[in-house]
Chains A and B, each alone.
Chain A
């Protein structure tokens, strides 16, 4: 036993640990690594000498050596972490800057044109058209409860009409009670509830915003998109008014040679309901591939507020009537700018972003 190659193991371990503790920089650590735990380490030499031992003693000695190596390696990693922290702390310290001392006029600011996003630009243009027509603008939250997104809009739980919207559910509360809004229509409900609570009808508002549907992204769909919704609640409002507002908007936004038409549709929250189409902006109505030779492109949905919706928010349908409409902001942008792939909107390539003014 006296000739065991591991006789000095404890001593060598202590020395290695001391050497590790003495390392003061990450560079020094990297340089010393080979001689501490690597090929040039005394532990590696001892490992080689084990081969000469008898099998029985080799096993115990091997285990001892393993343990020593573990201790040294752990110490080295801890030291490395300490030195990293220290290096970051000291580089942060060197970097330290009291931003209150910054003198703005000293900052060099090269002049360059910036660009708004295509969606916000389009949204602003749409808002401007509607503001010009006498509408106010309202915002609403992106996470909604089942009540606002569905129930108050006359879509009860488990109703087959829910299949019209592929919904992202949020993991809060009872299952399927909290959703990422699938349309901007919940903002209608908020507006009407508020107007009833504050006795401030009528309402003439548009509600732009981001919506979410569980659609696999492709050239024409993203899981998040933007809609603008319109709501009018007033005395004596008719379907003719709805058709008139849609037509006025269409001409104001797309140009005088583009018109609109309505055809029957179904939405649980409006009755009568309609889809509205506009003259195909590519072929100007002549018929082309984009419009399947019909000369018309489907833009959005609309209709007279369903009495069930008025009842849900406590508006007296004998005194008040109204309409709602909604369509995609991104879709308008797509139509106007011949955007061939919607995914460009979220890829944020500056060559794409730098085109809008």
Chain B
């Protein structure tokens, strides 16, 4: 919201510098997002008349202009083309300093000397127009030699662009901001003058008003203003509107906008001649009704919305023929608009239910200065004060205007300001510090709260401008926030709390850190790929599967939640590879999603209005996806990496087990599941990236094999699924070990880890079994390969003798035989 300093100063004395005021406003939570100077640096600019325009030899973009600013002809070189002899334009004479600190000097161009500068609106920082010079004819009655500021009736001003928070309905106007400043600075707040009715005729003899739906319209006042003449506004009104970013239209409309900016009450002037029976009525819109709003768009009313909590209700103002005149509190219709011929005005000043306005405004995607204020809650007691101020401003341009007696004032349901009990300890309990009672009183009274001292508490009643203040304990917090805000957050002492509970990471978080460290230590770079992808991306690995979709994506190719990280990481690798930077391992730690319809145990949660509905949410699965893209990487490197990870993470026994049907994205004949031997749980997959996927995400260059490790971190973090090594350590035997090498011709279907496991179980003497060679080919039967294991035997209490070793060897061979293997 743009707030002028001159305007603020009408309400409260503010001798502070701009910087100091900015600091105070920021500290009040009225954050200054920008400061603009208006009309500064224009003191020396005068009105000049163009008397002659001459070409300059050899130049086609500049011309020599002879002007008169009251002291005879002056030659000026000028690049603008939008003016003619006889026009009046602003002249910055030699020595003038323009906004931004630019000093005008004599300047010689192509042998011609320029004695000043003719200016565009942007050069004067009056507006953004830089098409050409500011031609004054038509804007004002220009007089040669007059100061431009006086000619345009501009008073230099400073405009603060203030960001008003959602809980400050009162601060959406100059008076509200001034009230905060006056209270903080302990100064008097002045009120602007309002007019009084000046006609004996009663309003109800001319007009009437009614409320059909008191729940949506809390108050409807109608003032009748007769003998109106529609003209331009006084210049101070126009300038105030412009400084606030609004365009002046006519005295009748501008006065309405000015009152809104000043006091926060939006009002709406109707041309009485265009309102049937001079009657205004507030009611719910009926399905099928339409309205063409002032922006020229036809609106379908009372059409239920899609959004959560949207009732589809619209509140409209209708006339005596039940014709819809406007969308209450949001925008009027074209049919009863003020025109040049308007002589009688019905001024509506009302209170509308904030939520109704918020919903309608959202549903119709229609925001206006009025709806911004009504949806936050306009003071329900402000209407007639605003009307009086309106009449006062209008009477400046139309002294003969008549405001009929007893303005119409119809009431619906008006919110009653809550009363909050503030006990002596409440403030310290919330803020951590006592605030002196006289400070509390000064702050709250300054803000318009009323206080009644009771025996053990103060009864605090919020002003009607503060509909954000709630009742009960919530209201108490609201009131204490206001005390703290005006007292200044910076003055509240800080304190370091302590508690006996320890700050720690849980097992899952520690495991995640450890896994990340090990992966990074192995040489991986961590990537972050997109959660939202296209349908085509989803189809690459999950064709025909239900997908979790975003209803309102920013772009079509960001509309589906990813079901895998493999595609993203492979694509990230390919992009680097194409830049010649592909000799890397990339790893992503992130979440993938499955539609609730394909999960066996959908995540149920409460949701919907009031949390009464039960909703099925997508299953979220945290995964760690590692793509190995260095020159010789393949499925074997991925297995090697896994074996290191498994040992570093303290997993007891995870089998790298071939799968019949590898998930898509993995090379179908070079993929294995990571299966926990004790729990049988699948902890992830290891293998290579399917060449078809690499093809799909790249552009043709011959690519290499990519190793792949895709770990289900949720399973890994669950100690019931991923069995950890026991905490009791194995004490190595102090007696010598016996070492056997066994080459076992083993059927292809028998997993090498399973064989190792069988060998370990064969005897208590087995300390360790390590696979050291795999042979396949001539000399071996079809469907078999030779697995060579190194078996270490030991006993904790003796050196093994030859008999024991021989017996153990036989047990090992028996165990191998139970899996169909024979000694080679």
Contacts and interface: CB of A to CB of B under 8 A. Distances in A.
Interface of A: 92-93, 95-117, 119-120, 124, 127, 130-137, 139, 141-148, 151-152, 156-161, 164, 168-178, 180, 202, 204, 210, 212, 214, 216, 223-224, 232, 234, 236-241, 243-245, 247-248, 261-266, 268, 271-275, 294, 304, 306-308, 317, 321, 345-346, 348-351, 353-354
Contacts of B530: 224, 346
Given A139-B508, A263-B26, A346-B529, 12 more contacts: A99-B656, A101-B774, A103-B771, A104-B643, A160-B376, A177-B613, A212-B531, A239-B492, A240-B495, A244-B495, A321-B429, A348-B572
Given A158-B359, A307-B474, A348-B572, A98 B658 contact: yes
Contact of A134 (B375, B503, B787): B503
A174 B608 contact: yes
Interface in B464-489: 470, 472-474, 476-478, 480-481, 484-485, 489
A12 B10 CA distance: 102
Interface residues of B, number: 140
Contact of A241 (B28, B497, B550): B497
A93 to B, nearest CB: 7
Contacts of B490: 261-263
A100 B669 contact: no
Contact of B375 (A139, A160, A308): A160
B523 A104 contact: no
B589 A101 contact: no
B496 A137 contact: no
B550 A266 contact: no
B523 A239 contact: no
Contact of A145 (B525, B528, B608): B608
Interface of B: 26-29, 31, 165-168, 306-310, 354-355, 358-359, 362, 375-376, 428-433, 470, 472-474, 476-478, 480-481, 484-485, 489-490, 492-499, 501-506, 508-509, 513, 516, 519-532, 548-554, 558, 561, 572, 575-576, 579, 581, 584-586, 589-591, 593, 596, 603, 605-611, 613, 615-618, 620, 630, 632, 635-637, 639-640, 643-644, 655-658, 667-672, 686-687, 748, 751-754, 771-774, 785, 787
B630 A110 contact: yes
Contacts of B26: 263, 294
Contacts of B520: 114-116
A245 B655 contact: no
Contact of A177 (B308, B771, B772): B308
10 contacts: A104-B640, A136-B506, A151-B609, A204-B501, A240-B493, A264-B485, A266-B168, A304-B477, A307-B477, A348-B586
Given A131-B505, A148-B605, A107 B640 contact: yes
A102 B635 contact: yes
Contacts of A272: 430-431, 477, 480-481, 484-485, 489
A116 B354 CA distance: 49
Nearest to B473: A307
Contacts of B362: 158
A95 B470 CA distance: 71
Contact of B306 (A105, A137, A145, A176): A176
Nearest to A88: B692
A296 to B, nearest CB: 9
B612 to A, nearest CB: 9
A159 B358 contact: yes
B550 A171 contact: yes
A169 B550 contact: yes
Contacts of A124: 513
Contact of B552 (A106, A108, A169, A321): A169
Given A137-B509, A146-B607, A158-B308, A170 B499 contact: no
Given A96-B669, A131-B504, A264-B481, A158 B355 contact: yes
A304 B427 CA distance: 13
Given A109-B640, A264-B489, A266-B166, A160 B506 contact: no
A164 B166 contact: yes
Contacts of B753: 100
Contacts of A239: 430-432, 484, 492
Contacts of A177: 308, 607-608, 613, 615
A95 B670 contact: yes
A223 to B, nearest CB: 6
